[in-house]
Chain A
Amino acid sequence: AQSVTQLGSHVSVSEGALVLLRCNYSSSVPPYLFWYVQYPNQGLQLLLKYTSAATLVKGINGFEAEFKKSETSFHLTKPSAHMSDAAEYFCAVSESGGGADGLTFGKGTHLIIQP
């Protein structure tokens, strides 16, 4: 069975500071890994996706994530936080890339940006 653990239900950073959101996964097969962002009263938007092509994945809005198999981690980073980054972030895992087994999401991390 697959699972995702997101460390820290809330993360607060200053505008312009580094953003680091942590995600650890469990999967019995090489996984597909995802980061999604959810703004208030909206659905989920894909930030980036790992499909084994490269361990460092670049996404939208300046975010990137690094797949580390030895640590079973897929942490999300952004060098400089912007006020518009304030949102809920979800890490997800799938053994089929979003197919019949669906995506298994973590509980989410609420990112707060301090001015």
Chain B
Amino acid sequence: ETGVTQSPTHLIKTRGQQVTLRCSSQSGHNTVSWYQQALGQGPQFIFQYYREEENGRGNFPPRFSGLQFPNYSSELNVNALELDDSALYLCASSLRQGGNEKLFFGSGTQLSVL
């Protein structure tokens, strides 16, 4: 039990639609990261939010965007869905205290794009 919850657990969308995935971090954690895990692959870093500001981004297009709220919740938004967006999306929360932070992962949202 990591204390990080994600919703929904499963989601089916159609190509071209928009989707919002949600994450509830551990209380007190000021950082949240999002990862995309395609079938049979390792997770890929999408972006990270620290104190409600994006402060790092992987190789993902701008149609992937996020928000982090003061109540330890966050969102991942994906516009204009493509078939290749089908994947498990993981969020991870952490407490940044001068480095050496430990990430706590949620169980993920499985997104299928048809």
Give A residues with C-beta under 8 Å from B. Answer: 4, 41-46, 49, 51, 90, 92, 96-108
Contacts and interface: CB of A to CB of B under 8 A. Distances in A.
B29 interface: no
A99 B101 CA distance: 8
Given A99-B96, A99-B99, A45 B48 contact: no
Nearest to B105: A43
A19 B41 CA distance: 21
A51 to B, nearest CB: 6
Q: Please name the 5 residue pairs, one residue from A and one from B, whose CB atoms are nearest each other, closest first.
A: A102-B45, A100-B56, A105-B42, A43-B105, A44-B105
Interface residues of B, number: 29
Contacts of A4: 42
Instruction: Tell me the dominant secondary structure on chain B's binding face.
Output: loop
B37 to A, nearest CB: 8
A98 B105 contact: no
B40 A107 contact: yes
Contact of A45 (B43, B45, B105): B105
Contacts of B94: 98
A97 B43 contact: no
Contacts of B55: 100
**Most chain B CB inside 10 Å of its own CB: which residue of A51, A98, A101:** A98
A43 B41 contact: no
A45 B43 CA distance: 13
A42 B9 CA distance: 11
Given A101-B56, A102-B56, A102-B58, A46 B45 contact: no
A90 B42 contact: yes
B90 A44 contact: yes
Given A44-B105, A49-B102, A92-B42, 7 more contacts: A4-B42, A43-B4, A51-B100, A97-B100, A98-B33, A99-B101, A107-B40
